[in-house]
Amino acid sequence: MAKPAVKKTNWFAIWTSIGVVVAVVAIAVVVVFSNQAANKLPAENIPAAVDTETGAVTIGNGEDTVSVFVDFMCPNCKNFETNFGGDLRDLAKSDNISLGIHAVSILDNASKGTKYSTRAANAFYCVAEEKPELTMSYMDALFAKQPAEGTTGLSDERLIELASGLGVDIKACQTDQTFADFVTKQTRNNMPRNPQDQGLYTPTVLINDEYTQLSTLTPTFFTDMFGGAAKSE
């Protein structure tokens, strides 16, 4: 009489499955902690002032001016800030330049109808009005969480949370879209056109009101031009 077949336990498959589950959980934990870390960006207190005529949020009191027009959905704007933002802020803090940041909305049509560029710019100006010294920190938070073009972008609730993480309450301002019309008008009326083709691009950089082609920028461009001892000293 034949003996009944004994079903062998495939321990290799079981332990492999357990390993996969553990790996997935570990990745999830890393993502959670990475998101939490990004939400707790250090708040850099830099005095700022909003020019309601030009739309600039200005830091520094230098005679030379650098104006930067940014759209918070624009990946090249994030790259510009990564490469040059630190130098520009240092020059502004030492009053070698006056740095003006203009939040514009030329990419509203790249967020599936949510007008993310306008909403993010509105939040930026809400922070500038409520706690101007934290405006640059909020800009850092917006770029750290920058959504991809062609997505709906961050919700208003998320934009409010990012500000709250810095200690700024912009709920009423963001819910009412207090600066939305302001952003639209600034984009339409004050956004400089590239003299080479009359196109609108972000980032756009003006140095002493002169349009600067991004292709001319070197890694030390701004420090070479404006560096050295603070002019106010």
Which H, E and C letters describe the chain, residue by residue?
CCCCCCCCCCHHHHHHHHHHHHHHHHHHHHHHHHHHHHHCCCCCCCCCEECCCCCEEEECCCCEEEEEEECCCCHHHHHHHHHHHHHHHHHHHCCCEEEEEEECCCCHHHCCCCCHHHHHHHHHHHHHHHCHHHHHHHHHHHHHCCCCCCCCCCCHHHHHHHHHHCCCCCHHHHHHCCCHHHHHHHHHHHCCCCCCCCCCCCCEEEECCEEECHHHCCCCHHHHHHCCCCCCC
Is the model's pLDDT at 213 over the cut of 50?
Answer: yes
Residue 228's pLDDT band (cuts 50, 70, 90):
low
pLDDT attached to residue 16 = 41
Is the model's pLDDT at 12 over the cut of 50?
Answer: no
Residue 23's pLDDT band (cuts 50, 70, 90):
very low
Provide, rounded to the nearest whole percent, the portion of the chain with pLDDT above 70: 79
Looking at CATH, the fold of the domain delimited by 49-223 is given as Glutaredoxin (3.40.30)
Could you tell me the residue ranges of all domains in the chain? Answer: 49-223
Question: Mean pLDDT over residues 113-140, rounded?
Answer: 97
Is the model's pLDDT at 1 over the cut of 60?
Answer: no
pLDDT attached to residue 204 = 98
Question: How do residues 43-95 score in pLDDT, each as one tens digit?
Answer: 778 989 999 889 999 999 999 999 999 999 999 999 999 999 999 999 999 99
Question: How do residues 179-203 score in pLDDT, each as one tens digit?
Answer: 999 999 999 999 999 999 999 999 9
Is the model's pLDDT at 10 over the cut of 90?
Answer: no
Is the model's pLDDT at 25 over the cut of 50?
Answer: no
pLDDT attached to residue 4 = 44
